[in-house]
Amino acid sequence: MPGWRVMAIPVLLATVALAQARTEPIAVRVGPVTAVAWPAQRELARTLAEVAARPAEFPGLGTSTPGVLSIIIARNGAALDSIVGGRAPSWGVGFADPATRTILLRADAPDVHRTLRHELAHLALHDRVRVRVPLWFDEGYAGWAAGEWARLGGLELNLAVARGAVPELRDLDGELRRSPGSVGPAYALAMSAVLELARRHPDGRLDPLINRLAAGDEFDAAVQATTGLSLTRFEDAWRRSVRSRYTVATWLVAGGAWVLVATAVLALGFWRRRRDRGRRAALDEGWPIPDPDDQLNGQSDETAEPAEPGGPVLDRNPRP
Ligand SMILES: [Zn+2]
């Protein structure tokens, strides 16, 4: 996730110390990479710094060397929130600021190594491309580079997408930052849009688009030159592609059928409970209420005699 700003490293160290229970932070240096962390995350900091210091392959960029960068490791969401002064969304597990070449990671993220790869991809892209790119492209590119394919799998189970509710690219930018509920599908859709950009080039690669952007072409012009489509027509083609790939049929195959079965079973159980409650209430009408004294004498409902001889015989466990 890009677009977040950090302060100078000395100030940062002091802030990290305050944010992380007033314990002195430590700095681990591996080549051009400095990782700042709480002592409990020292080994994680070293491992992540070693990974970040290696040259790495990124889609459309080839091999990228990391250059000087800082990685700050917060032990949890509260510590991360303190470091960025409450400006980070609660669901965020990683942030990158290309301007200061700083990455902020949560140590308790489900897959911190993949998150690091995602943030490194943001830096690598912005190292090469200096023109402004849309947020959906930035996030979709980083998702692709980090191999977040499970996100695309999640789209198969998204009923809204299966029913054809694919947002416009402009709205996708807003959904990428809106809420935990919208952000998962939004990242997946952004990835699918970037994959579609590559697929629309005759070579099926992203390099031509990245090269155009690196040369200074505006984003719309680069899309037109490498896909033959204006951004508006590309958007139409992408939305059609998503609608044809993710349908109610694929939703059912991916597991939606089980959702329907589970819903039907729950509804049937609810209906039967309501029906039985009504039948029990009807059977209880006119049934004598035992004398409290009888109960005190140790008589239960089942052994109490009817108040009047010849009274109704009640089936206490009526069957349907
Ligand atoms: Zn990102």
CA distances from 129 to 17, 156, 216, 222, 271 (A): 34, 32, 8, 12, 60
* C-alpha of residue 142 to centroid of ligand 1, in Å: 6
* C-alpha of residue 233 to centroid of ligand 1, in Å: 26
* C-alpha of residue 91 to centroid of ligand 1, in Å: 12
* C-alpha of residue 236 to centroid of ligand 1, in Å: 24
Domain 1-128 has CATH 1.10.3470: no
Q: Which two tokens stand for residue 25?
A: 């932070």
User: If you average pLDDT over every residue of the chain, what do you get?
Assistant: 81
* C-alpha of residue 136 to centroid of ligand 1, in Å: 9
Over the stretch 68-110, which tens digit does the pLDDT of each residue have?
Answer: 999 999 998 888 888 887 777 777 889 999 999 999 999 999 9
The pLDDT confidence band at residue 215, using thresholds 50, 70 and 90, is very high
* C-alpha of residue 223 to centroid of ligand 1, in Å: 21
* C-alpha of residue 22 to centroid of ligand 1, in Å: 29
DSSP per residue, 188-212: HHHHHHHHHHHHTSTT--SHHHHHH
Q: Residue 188 and residue 167: Cα distance in Å, rounded? A: 12
* C-alpha of residue 68 to centroid of ligand 1, in Å: 20
* C-alpha of residue 138 to centroid of ligand 1, in Å: 7
* C-alpha of residue 118 to centroid of ligand 1, in Å: 6
The pLDDT confidence band at residue 244, using thresholds 50, 70 and 90, is confident
CB-based burial of residue 281 (10 Å sphere; 0-12 exposed, 13-18 middle, 19+ buried)?
exposed
* C-alpha of residue 55 to centroid of ligand 1, in Å: 20
Tell me what pLDDT residue 275 has.
75
Q: Which two tokens stand for residue 186?
A: 């939004």
- Provide mean pLDDT across the span 140-145: 97
* C-alpha of residue 21 to centroid of ligand 1, in Å: 28
Q: Are strands 33-37 and 69-74 parallel, antiparallel or unpaired?
A: parallel
* C-alpha of residue 275 to centroid of ligand 1, in Å: 52
pTM above 0.85, yes or no: no
* C-alpha of residue 61 to centroid of ligand 1, in Å: 17
The pLDDT confidence band at residue 308, using thresholds 50, 70 and 90, is very low
CA atoms within 13 A on the CB side of 111: 9
Which sequence spans correspond to the domains of the chain? 1-128, 131-246, 256-320
* C-alpha of residue 265 to centroid of ligand 1, in Å: 40
- Provide mean pLDDT across the span 205-214: 97
